[in-house]
Amino acid sequence: MYNTLTSRVIGFVASLVLTFTAFLLVVRPYLFHLEIDVVVMIILILAVLQGMAQAIFFLHVLSERGTRWNLFVFASTISIIVVIVVFSIWIMNHLNYNMMHH
Amino acid sequence: MDDTKVFGFWIYLMTDLVIFSVLFATYVVLRNSTFGGPSASELFELPTVFAETLILLTSSFTCSLATLAVHREQKKPAIYWFAATFVLGTAFLYLEITEFSQFISHGAGPQRSAFLSSFFILVGTHGFHISLGLLWMLVAMFRIGFRPFVISSVSRIMRMAFFWHFLDVVWIFIFSVVYAMGLLL
């Protein structure tokens, strides 16, 4: 089922829908009367969904059998990334704040 | 399939992901440090980014069609779809270089502010990966054209396609974090 034209076309349509939604939100941020932070959050979630769509429909990660070592490496990488990105932003924002006169 | 090599390549991709995430973190920390220069919302143009995103998404699709042809051992469709992917990738790179040179000619080069330094290094690193991917694709097309399909060459082509899809996903995050957030916040 995975190595078919259908799965690729579904993947392409899904990626287009996700991208058009993201661009619509950038062009008309107040279309759904949401706060701008929420809109940014939705765009980031759309990006994650896009990555998952590419992985499932183009790379067929779900069809792979055998060891789960690649999943293990992926999980470790994600945890490293979360530490680097989230904590960098957190520390630097507070650093800026604490260096100001207030 | 050559499982060990695919796994090794997967580990390489994961380390590459760490490189990109460090650059993303740097960009997000420095994105408001414009030092009196142009800010993200003044600089970025949505139509260019939209074209770049659509081109790269379509190239990801044509690349997946090429791998389908490789799986079915059809040489000509494989070369045609990889050629289409190559043309789209080149168009993307052309748009990106045009955008960079426009920024630089408007005095918004990487030395203007911390924001622009981090922007150029993040987007430039992605562009550099795309160029390497295009080079690899060219080699793959010649190999398909002049050599018989054997398991090792199929595995090699699959790793190249893997790399291309990976770059597409990284670009989606660049669009979201750099361009969308730059225009919205």
Q: What is the Cα–Cα distance from B62 to B159, expressed in whole angstroms? A: 15
B7 pLDDT above the threshold of 90? no
B129 vs A59, which has greater pLDDT? B129
- For B8-27, what is the mean pLDDT? 95
B150 vs B61, which has greater pLDDT? B61
Q: Which residues of B touch A8 (CB under 8 A)?
A: 61, 64-65, 68
Q: What is the pLDDT of residues B87-118, one digit of tens each?
A: 999 999 999 999 999 999 999 999 999 999 99
pLDDT at A4: 85
Q: What is the pLDDT of residues A9-61, one digit of tens each?
A: 999 999 999 999 999 999 999 888 889 999 999 999 999 999 999 988 887 77
Name the DSSP letter for residue A101: -
Distance from CA of A102 to the nearest CA of B (A): 20
Q: What is the Cα–Cα distance from A85 to A73, expressed in whole angstroms? A: 18
pLDDT at A63: 64
Interchain CB distance below 8 Å, A23 and B46: yes
What percent of chain B has a predicted confidence (pLDDT) above 70?
99
pLDDT at B107: 93
**Model confidence at B84, in pLDDT bands (50, 70, 90)?**
very high
A84 pLDDT above the threshold of 70? yes
Nearest by Cα to A10 from A60, A47, A46, A45: A60
B73: left (phi over 0), alpha (psi -120 to 50) or beta: left
Chain A, residues 34-53, CB within 8 A of chain B, namely: 36, 39-40, 43-44, 46-47, 50-51
Which residue out of A10, A23, A58, A78 would a mutagenesis test of the B interface target, given it has the greatest number of B Cβ atoms within 10 Å?
Answer: A58
Both ends of chain A: CA-CA distance in Å? 62
pLDDT at B36: 92
pLDDT at A32: 87
pLDDT at B1: 52
pLDDT at B123: 98
- For B156-163, what is the mean pLDDT? 92
Name the DSSP letter for residue A63: G
Q: Which residues of B touch A70 (CB under 8 A)?
A: 7, 10
Counting one residue from chain A and one from chain B, the pairs whose CB atoms sit within 8 A come to: 111
pLDDT at A2: 60
Who contacts B27 (Cβ-Cβ below 8 Å, separation ≥6)? B118, B119, B122, B177, B178
B166 vs A101, which has greater pLDDT? B166
pLDDT at A64: 63
Q: What is the pLDDT of residues B61-82, one digit of tens each?
A: 999 999 999 988 899 999 999 9
**CA count, 13 A, side-chain hemisphere, B105:** 6
State the burial class of residue B39 (Cβ atoms within 10 Å of its Cβ: 0-12, 13-18, 19+): middle
Q: Which residues of B touch A2 (CB under 8 A)?
A: none
Average pLDDT value for chain B: 94
And the tokens for A74?
């992926």
